[in-house]
């Protein structure tokens, strides 16, 4: 098998507040320096063995997180940080395509207000991890 390398570049990151994909999605791709979907797997309970020797495994659940590192833009009233404060604790649909050849990931996240500020007279970034509500959909590239 030959090596294949993917890069996150020239991608799309949009959020749609109305949750139906019919509103005016806002794009924050130009603020993001790192975007990823992080799945987490958890087992709930213990396996159970029956008298005949069969075993029922523990329940397993997967939760996803949309993680973003972005350049801070708190001076911009229409920027990513102000948007996060305006929609704090709301469920918002998102679309992320890492590059034009990649599949698209979409779903709903629970927005949380972003941290503001940091070191004086330095370029500032902010890290956020927003929990996904339900499953993240994967759509093949067109």
Residues 80-89 pLDDT 10s: 999 999 999 9
pLDDT at 116: 96
CATH architecture of the domain with residue range 12-40+62-135: Beta Barrel (2.40)
pLDDT at 19: 59
For 95, residues 6+ apart whose C-beta sits below 8 A from its C-beta are: 12, 13, 14, 16, 25, 104, 105, 106
Residues 15-42 pLDDT 10s: 998 755 556 889 999 999 999 999 998 8
Please, are residues 29 and 12 in contact by the beta-carbon 8 Å criterion?
A: yes
The stretches in the chain having pLDDT less than 70 are 19-23
pLDDT at 18: 72
CA gap 127, 29 in Å, rounded: 14
Among residues 96, 124, 32, the alpha carbon closest in space to that of 70 is found at 32
pLDDT at 138: 94
CA gap 39, 62 in Å, rounded: 7
pTM here is 0.84
Buried b (16+ CB within 10 A) or exposed e, 80-106: bbbbbeebeeeebbbbbbbeeebebbb
């Amino acid at each position: 098998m030959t090596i294949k390398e993917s890069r996150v570049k020239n991608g799309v990151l949009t959020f749609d507040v109305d949750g139906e994909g019919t509103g005016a999605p806002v794009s924050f791709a130009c603020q993001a320096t790192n975007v990823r979907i992080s799945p987490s797997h958890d087992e709930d309970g213990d396996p159970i063995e029956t008298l005949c020797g069969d075993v029922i495994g523990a329940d397993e659940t997967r939760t996803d997180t949309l993680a973003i590192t972005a350049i801070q833009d708190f001076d911009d009233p229409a920027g990513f940080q102000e948007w996060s404060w305006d929609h704090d604790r709301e469920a918002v649909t998102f679309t992320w395509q890492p590059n034009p050849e990649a599949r698209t990931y979409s779903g709903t996240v629970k927005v949380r207000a972003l941290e503001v500020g940091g070191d004086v007279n330095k370029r500032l970034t902010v890290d956020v991890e927003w929990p996904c509500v339900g499953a993240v959909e994967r759509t093949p590239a067109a």
